[in-house]
Structure 1
């Protein structure tokens, strides 16, 4: 499992959710859809209709993977921070019951407000 206490997923850029469908089909529940996908250097974060999924690629070959499921129902609070003129990164902070704070840092042209809306639709 990813150690959420000692870091964050940082510098995530947009990815195509369809690229993950075959990989995630065996673990998605009936009726669950992939909404948004973001990729870092090796790891990925996906927003589904039910949860936040993280993929932690491990090992030299990258064949070993850890899939962590963070249900929206366990989110107690969240915040979004848009990019600025000099600070081009946007951030999402999520506070999970029993886990604590998880920070996602996004680079480039990520529509952070759409992530905030998605979270609001599923958490509030």
Structure 2
């Protein structure tokens, strides 16, 4: 599992959600769909209609990959900070029972309010 206490995903940028399909389809349950996808150089975060999947590519070759599944039903609260005039990045913090705080930083242009609406639909 990704060590969320000592590691942060930095500057995630929006990508076509279908770009994750080949890697994630074996992990998805019937009826689960990828809603949004974000990527750094190697790592990524995918929001489905059921959970958040954090993808951590490891090693020099990148053949070893860690997938961490974070179900929406375990979210206790969340906080979003949208991009501003001088701070162009946005941040999303999620607090999960038994995992703690998970923080993602997004580059400008990411629709964090859409992600918050998705999370709200699942946890409220």
TM-score, normalised by the number of residues in structure 2: 0.97
Shift of 1:78: 0.4
Report matched runs for 1:105-116 at 5 Å: 105-116=105-116
**Who is 2:35 aligned against?**
35
Runs of 5+ unmatched residues, structure 2:
none
Q: Which runs of 4+ in 1 moved over 3 A?
A: none
**Who is 1:84 aligned against?**
84
Runs of 5+ unmatched residues, structure 1:
none
In structure 2, what is the Cα distance between the partners aligned to 1:106 and 1:25?
24
Report matched runs for 1:1-124 at 5 Å: 1-124=1-124
TM-score, normalised by the number of residues in structure 1: 0.97
Shift of 1:67: 0.6
In structure 2, what is the Cα distance between the partners aligned to 1:75 and 1:100?
9
- 1:84-118: CA deviations, max 9, x gaps? 10000001010000011011100120111111111
In structure 1, what is the Cα distance between the partners aligned to 2:85 and 2:20?
32
In structure 2, what is the Cα distance between the partners aligned to 1:94 and 1:9?
13
Shift of 1:7: 2.9
- For the residue of structure 2 that corresponds to 1:65, the secondary structure is strand
CA RMSD of superposed structures (Å): 0.8
In structure 2, what is the Cα distance between the partners aligned to 1:118 and 1:80?
13
In structure 2, what is the Cα distance between the partners aligned to 1:55 and 1:82?
23
